[in-house]
Structure formats: C-alpha cells, structure tokens
Amino acid sequence: MIKVCHLTSVHPRNDVRVFYRQCVSLSKNYDVSLVVADGLGSSRQQNINILDVGKPPNRLFRILFSTWKVFFRSLKTKSKIFHFHDPELFFIGLLLRFIGKKVIFDIHENIVAQIRVKTWIPIYFRAFLSSIFNVINYISVSFFSIILAEKSYLSLYKKYKSKNNIQIVLNYPNIDSLIEFRQLDRTGNEFFYIGGVSNNRGLDVLIDAAKILHKKNLNFKFHLIGMIRDDFFIDDFPELKKKIIFYGRKDFKSGYIISKKCIAGLAILKPIDNYINSYPTKIFEYMTIGLPVITSNFKLYEEVVKDNNTGICVNPLSPNDLADVLEQFINLKYDTKKMSELGVKVVQEKYSWKFELKKLLKMYKSLEN
C-alpha cells in the first residue's frame, strides 16, 4: 500500500476532521501515519500509526521547535504523500516539496480573516500578519495541492489560477462514528455544546441568557465541552455554578456521550466574517444524532436549520432572544421529535461525509503517480 503521512503540530490526535474523518477513511486504501505534538505518546489506533513528538510548553516553542520535530518524524515514515493541517507547517510543506514529495495543504479556515480576530496576536500586528498570509496563499497554490474545508474562501485561491489541484472537502459528519449517540425522542431541560468556548462563539451571550432563565426560577443546565479561550471564571457567577458545567477538552466520543441527556445543541456564533460565511461542523453533528439545533440566524445557517426545520435560529447578539428560545424548549413548546427526525434525514441525504470522501480520494488518486 502507498504510504501517506498527516502532519499537525496544533490539533490533538483525536481531531474529528484529521483523525476520524480523513485518516480513518484513508486507511482503507493507504498505509496512514499521523504525526502529532500532544504529549500522549506514540500508538496505533484504528490502523493508524500515531507518532507523537511531545507536547510543547507554550505556543512560541510549538511554532519554533515542534514544527521541526514534526518534519523530521514525518520523514521517517518514508511516505509518498504528505498532508499537513496547520499554517505554521507551511515552510515544512515547502521543504517536503523541495525533496520531491507530493504535498497537500489542508486549509481548515480562512486564515487571513481569522488573524484579524485572534486575541493572542497584538492588534497592531494583525493587519501586517494578514498581508503576509496573502503572500503565503499565493505561494501555496503554486507548490501544493490544496484542500479547503469551506466553499466561502475558494475565491481567495482560485484568483491565482494555479495548475495545482484545489478541492473543497467539507466538514460533513461521518454518520457511522456518531450513530451510537443518536436519540430521536428528546425531552428535558439540559443543553449541549461542543467546541472552543469563547465570547466569539457566544459564551458571554449564553451566560447572560442563563441569568435571565435563573431569575425566572427555571430549571436548566448547560453542558459545555471544549477549551475555554477567553478569561472566564464561573466563580464570578455563583448563582450559575450548578447550572453551567464546563468539562474542558474531551475526545470526540467522551464529549458526545453527554449529549444523550440533552434536548438541544447550541452553536451561537457571533457575526464575524469567518463564521458568517462558514458552516459550523457541530450543527451537522447535532443533526446526525437527532439533537435539535439552536444556532445563529445567519443566512448560511438558516438554509440548513430553519429551511429544513431541524432547529431554531436566533440573534446571536441578543441574550433575551436566546433565553426565550431556551425557555420554549424547556417548556416543550417545540416539536423536538420532528426536528430530530428531520435532522437525521437531511444529513443522510445532503450533508454526509460519504459525499466528501469521494473528493478526498480523488485528490489522493491524482497524486499516486
């Protein structure tokens, strides 16, 4: 079998897109290795060789040193095709091309737009760094095969008129990996969220909505799975400590098992360019398991959720609107069973990973010779 190697210095080994969708799917046709930097040690899982170079102590160390560790470890796999997932591995990708390897750059987000809202980057440096990545985009399409996780930023790469392959491989769910969490008859007063926990992803609005529900003496509970990315302390809200449960980062399955006791899934993203024009993967995952969706009222999201009657879209800047919808769910005012059934049906017909896998395999096939 042809050897292929996925590289990431940022993502955990159990990343849904990298591991569960791409690596596991590719392992049926290729000998797949995955090089990570998470400090959990090397192992073999689901026919994937996971090679760990150790967890970096901080972001700067990761960018300056872990990237090179990932490079040298990947070379030892003697792979023919290398597939990297992080912008910070860009120069590693170039080196791999210069030594004759086939290289895929998997672009998970609109990097140029994301830089403008990254809080860890000094605000005075963001415009400059954003312009640098415009240059990197130009170089990328000249040297790499490109995979985009969203349609919205295809124009950024198409304008360079490269002869290299550019393919959109959307983050639609792998139904088989989620089916054990499916439940179609949902009731109760508990709500689910999985992903990065930050104000840009609606944490502050959710807290304010929780305060409104608390003042109405309503029983409810929020289960939030993911790493907190903003300064936030639940101790600042003692009345909510038993209402909002923060689990931190969990692996895919450990996170989703919590959803089985919940009545709806949350995805309240703020109106930032990168969010307005990109699908949040979680809404498709929620639909796959029969979890009604509560999400932002962006046109793109409404086409999936509102138009298919799989949940409710709200103003992501209004705690009152969100609290009203949550209250309706708690009081069983919505036909959640119908939302659950329609969600499952729509994913099977339109939004399944099986459609995207065909495009991924087509790209790999083109690089075999």
Q: Do both 207 and 152 map to the same domain?
A: no
The half-sphere exposure of 90 on its side-chain side, counting CA atoms within 13 A, is 15
Q: Which domain holds residue 317?
A: 176-350
> Long-range contacts for 344-349 (Cβ within 8 Å, ≥24 apart)?
344/182, 344/184, 344/287, 344/288, 344/290, 346/287, 346/304, 346/308, 346/310, 347/172, 347/173, 347/175, 347/284, 347/287, 347/288, 348/175
Most confident of 94-108, 110-124, 269-283: 94-108
Q: Do both 134 and 255 map to the same domain?
A: no
Q: Do both 221 and 333 map to the same domain?
A: yes
Mean pLDDT value of segment 219-242? 82
* pLDDT tens digits, one per residue of 305-337: 999 999 999 999 999 999 999 999 999 999 999
Look up the pTM and report it.
0.86
Report which of residues 62 and 177 the model is more confident about.
Answer: 62
CATH code, domain with 9: 3.40.50.2000
The confidence score (pLDDT) of residue 135 equals 76
Q: Do both 119 and 150 map to the same domain?
A: yes
Q: Do both 98 and 60 map to the same domain?
A: yes
- What is the C-alpha to C-alpha distance for residues 110 and 123, in angstroms, rounded to an integer? 18
The confidence score (pLDDT) of residue 22 equals 97
Q: Do both 139 and 22 map to the same domain?
A: yes
pLDDT-derived band at 160, boundaries 50, 70, 90? low
**Torsional sign, CA 191, 192, 197, 199:** negative
Q: Do both 314 and 362 map to the same domain?
A: no
Phi and psi based region of residue 41 (left: phi greater than 0; alpha: psi -120 to 50; beta: remaining): left
- What is the C-alpha to C-alpha distance for residues 42 and 13, in angstroms, rounded to an integer? 10
The confidence score (pLDDT) of residue 270 equals 95
Q: Are strands 43-45 and 48-52 parallel, antiparallel or unpaired?
A: antiparallel
Report which of residues 152 and 145 the model is more confident about.
Answer: 145
User: Number of structural domains, the chain?
Assistant: 2
Residue pointed to by tokens 């705690």: 319
* pLDDT tens digits, one per residue of 171-187: 999 999 899 999 998 99
pLDDT-derived band at 75, boundaries 50, 70, 90? very high
Q: Do both 194 and 124 map to the same domain?
A: no
* pLDDT tens digits, one per residue of 251-266: 888 999 999 999 999 9
Identity of the amino acid at 92: I
The confidence score (pLDDT) of residue 137 equals 74
